[in-house]
Amino acid sequence: MFLTRGPLPMLPLWERFFKGQKKVKYSIYVHAPPGFELNVSSTSVFYRCQIPSQRVEWGSVSLVDAEKRLLANALLDFSNERFVLLSESCIPIYNFPTIYKYLIGSTHSFVESYDDHSRYGRGRYNRNMRPYIRLADWRKGSQWFELNRALAVKIVADTKYYVLFKKYCRPSCYPDEHFIPTYLRIEFHAVN
C-alpha cells in the first residue's frame, strides 16, 4: 500500500521488484492526492491500482483516514494476509521472495511503538482523551507499518479511539505517529 504525495519516483525499482512474481502473491494499492492520476502503461504492475482518495494534510487526522482507506480497500481482497504501508520514497532492500517468505512466515506484525516522555511524545497527549486513552498508554511510532489481517480489520473497524483522535489530537499532535501504536498498546498490549 503506497501513501503518496504524487508521483512514484521509485516506480522503476518497484516494477523490477515485482517483475516475474505471481500476481496472486501481492496486491498494490496507491492513495494519491485527489486529481492526481498515476500515469503508467497497461503492462505496469501499478496499472489500475489507484484507489479513490481524499485530501491529506500533513500532521492531521486525514493521514490516519488515508491509512484506513488503504487498509479497507486491501481488505476487500480476502487473499491479502499482510498489509505494508509505504511512501513514494520507500525502496525494497531485499528481493520479493525473501520479503514474502519472511512476512508470510511471521506470526508478528511490525509497528514501531514506544513511550516517548518528551514534548514530541507524551507532550502531544490531550487529557480530554481520558478515560479511554490514558497517558500511560499513549505511544509514538513511525507512520509506516506492516500488519496481519486480523489487526488490519480491527484498526479499520475502530470507532472508539479514532473519534477521540479526530476530536482531540490537534494541533501539532501528528495522529499518524500515535494512533496505531496507541491503539495496539490499549487493545493488544498483553500480546505485544
Residue 177 has pLDDT above 60, yes or no: yes
pLDDT digits (tens, 9 = 90+) for 80-99: 999 999 999 999 999 999 99
Kindly provide the b/e burial profile for residues 81-101, where b requires at least 16 CB atoms within 10 angstroms of the residue's own CB: ebbbbbebebeeeeebeebbe
Q: Give percent of the chain above pLDDT 70.
A: 98
pLDDT digits (tens, 9 = 90+) for 101-134: 999 999 999 999 999 999 999 999 999 999 999 9
Q: What is the pLDDT of residue 169?
A: 92
Non-local CB neighbours of 189 within 8 Å, separated by 6+ positions: 137
Q: What is the pLDDT of residue 135?
A: 98
Question: Residue 104 is part of which domain span?
Answer: 2-191
pTM of the model as a whole: 0.95
Q: How far apart are CA 147 and CA 8, in angstroms?
A: 23
Q: What is the pLDDT of residue 71?
A: 99
Banded model confidence at residue 170, pLDDT cuts 50, 70, 90: confident
CB 180 within 8 A of CB 111: yes
Return the C-alpha cell found at 89: 520514497
Give one word for 168, left, alpha or beta, with left for phi > 0 and alpha for psi -120 to 50.
Answer: alpha
φ and ψ of 50, to 5 deg: -80, 130
Helix locations, the chain, DSSP H = 11-18, 62-75, 96-105, 149-157, 160-168, 179-188
Residue 192 has pLDDT above 70, yes or no: no
Q: Which of 60, 160, 171 is nearest to 182 (CA)?
A: 160
pLDDT digits (tens, 9 = 90+) for 29-73: 999 999 999 999 999 999 999 999 999 998 899 999 999 999 999
Q: What is the pLDDT of residue 8?
A: 96
* CATH code of the domain in which 177 resides: 3.90.550
- Residue 3: strand pairing partners: 31, 87
Banded model confidence at residue 191, pLDDT cuts 50, 70, 90: low
Q: How far apart are CA 192 and CA 190, in angstroms?
A: 6
Number of domains in the chain: 1
